[in-house]
């Protein structure tokens, strides 16, 4: 079975600094997708960034970027120029298969605090 592990239950970062959240996963599939979701206090699940396993280039979305190491099954999220609004729970998630119609497997999350 596929599993997703986030080894940092809590992290903190100073405003304007950079922080990296770790995620590892276990799968025997070759075709899959990886995601980072943000869950602010409102509890809404917000997609931050996604990575297709077949793409070697790391995904970026503005201040958010990933370091995807397929052989090591590692998928870390880097947040640059951290802002107070980045404070939230961050979940790493995995989905197998080429289509969008498979369930997500989530890690337990990392709670990020941003210090002013």
Residues that bind other proteins (CB under 8 A): 33, 43-45, 47, 50, 52, 91, 95, 99-109
Nearer to other proteins, 99 or 116 (CB): 99
DSSP, collapsed to helix, strand or coil, labels residue 86 as: helix
Coil, strand or helix: which one is 60? strand
How far apart are CB 68 and other proteins at their closest, in Å?
15
Smallest separation, CB 100 to other proteins (Å):
4
Checking DSSP bridges between strand 10-14 and strand 110-115, what pairing results, if any?
A: parallel
* Residue 37: Cβ-neighbour burial (10 angstroms; 0-12, 13-18, 19+): buried
CB of 51 to other proteins, least distance (A): 10
Residue 68 or 95 having the CB closest to other proteins: 95
């Amino acid at each position: 079975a596929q599993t997703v592990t986030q080894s940092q239950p809590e992290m903190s970062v100073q405003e304007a600094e950079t922080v990296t959240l770790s995620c590892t996963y276990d799968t025997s599939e070759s075709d899959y997708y990886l995601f980072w979701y943000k869950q602010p206090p409102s509890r809404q699940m917000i997609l931050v960034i996604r990575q297709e396993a077949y793409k070697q280039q790391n995904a970026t979305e503005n201040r958010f970027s990933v370091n995807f190491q397929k052989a090591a099954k590692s998928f870390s999220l880097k947040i640059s120029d951290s802002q107070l609004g980045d404070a939230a729970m961050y979940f790493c998630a995995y989905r197998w298969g080429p289509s969008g119609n498979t369930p997500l497997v989530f890690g337990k999350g990392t709670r990020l605090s941003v210090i002013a």
